[in-house]
Amino acid sequence: MSQIPARPVLLTGASGALGRQLTKYLSGLGWTLVLTDIAPFPEPLPPNCRFERADLADGVAILRLAEGCGTILHFGGVSVERPFSEVLMPNIAGLYHIYEAARREKARVIFASSNHSIGFHERSEKLDDDCQMLPDGYYGLSKAYGELMGRMYWYKHGVENVNIRIGSSLPEPINERMLSTYLSFDDLCRFCERATLAERTESCVIWGASANKSSFWGKDARETIGWEPTDSADSFAAQLTGVVTKEAATERYQGGPYTDIDRTRVDLANPLFR
């Protein structure tokens, strides 16, 4: 039997693909959830769940939703590369609202960061959690900002936070890159369970990938929360090896296709410009 958190859990982005998986899994554990999203919740609500539509740009609404919650699973906001003006309010101002709510409630934040915060690292590199942030666009930059905000709120206000740099969380991997970046829904759900229940996390970063043999990623803080992924993309290797694009940056960097979106730099093939 899994433990039940002492206080309700606020989940932002509840109507999205990952939010719905988390709602199903965590409500199945008997947890009390406060769900929110800018879009309506598209399914019948499971027991012990309450849903309220809210915009992350509305700080007062976020403070109210977080009242009495002990954990904020922050999966809301823009989840793909978009122009800066579209990322700004949900992802940058929104993070501030989440952290202010967490500070007031003495809650822990579990932040859905992304591999796009480090997307311009070469695929040949094996990265640890303290690697240089190399965002591959405005979306990735907002995720790097979220991780740094977590660090600041821990040092300045004692707000604990766990930042999961999610690779590719889909029903199954669909190309060669995802043999490295794939994170199964089940591994993600168990991660959120552990990150919520862990006694103490401080501010830490964990690579969000299943146990894939060809992972780009190494050391992180998973022992702190007692999480180990149990799924893997390896059984798709025969089927997906060679499923690649013709784009130079997409196939060179860990962030894949995001590194090619709106790219104007033309010297990528020249090793002098690495």
Give the residue numbers annotated as catalytic, written as ranges. 139
The verdict on 181 binding ligand 15L (CB under 6 A) reads yes
Site pattern 229..268 for ligand 15L (x: CB under 6 A): ---------------------------x------------
**Count of residues in the chain:** 274
Look at residues 3, 169, 161 and name the one whose alpha carbon lies nearest to residue 73.
161
The CB-of-219 to ligand 15L minimum distance in angstroms stands at: 21
Under rule CB under 6 A, how many of the chain's residues touch ligand 15L? 9
The least distance separating ligand 15L from the CB of residue 133, rounded to whole angstroms, comes to 14
Q: Which residues contact 96 (CB under 8 A, 6 or more apart)?
A: 59, 149
How far apart (Å, rounded) are the C-alpha atoms in residues 190 and 93? 29
Piece of 112-120, 146-154, 225-233, 244-252 that binds ligand 15L (CB under 6 A): 112-120
Angle 124-208-4 (CA atoms, 0-180°, nearest 5)?
Answer: 165
| Cβ distance to ligand 15L smaller for residue 8 or 250 | 250
Please count the other Cβ atoms lying within 10 Å of the Cβ belonging to residue 206: 25
CB 104, min distance to ligand 15L, A: 28
Q: Which of 20, 74, 97, 116 binds ligand 15L (CB under 6 A)?
A: 116
Q: Which of 12, 23, 27, 114 binds ligand 15L (CB under 6 A)?
A: 114
H-type alpha helices, the chain:
17-28, 59-66, 84-87, 94-105, 138-157, 178-181, 185-197, 222-225, 237-240, 248-252
- Contact region with ligand 15L (CB under 6 A), list: 19-27, 94-102, 114-122, 234-242: 114-122
Residue 128 CB contacts under 8 Å (≥ 6 apart), including other chains? 217, 218, 219, 220
Least Cβ distance, residue 178 to ligand 15L (angstroms): 7
Nearest CA to 107 out of 25, 11, 26 is that of 11
Choice between 81 and 160, CB closer to ligand 15L: 81
Q: Which of residues 62-91 bind ligand 15L (CB under 6 A)?
A: 79-80
User: Do residues 25 and 189 lie in contact, with contact meaning Cβ atoms separated by under 8 Å?
Assistant: yes
Part in contact with ligand 15L (CB under 6 A); list of ranges 32-40, 108-116, 154-162, 216-224:
108-116
Report the largest interatomic distance among the alpha carbons of the chain, rounded to a whole angstrom.
58
Least distance to ligand 15L, CB of residue 113, Å = 9
> Which residue, 185, 244, 217, 189, is CA-closest to 115?
217
Q: Pick from 27, 161, 163, 168: which binds ligand 15L (CB under 6 A)?
A: 168
Binding site for ligand 15L (CB under 6 A): 79-80, 114-116, 166, 168, 181, 256
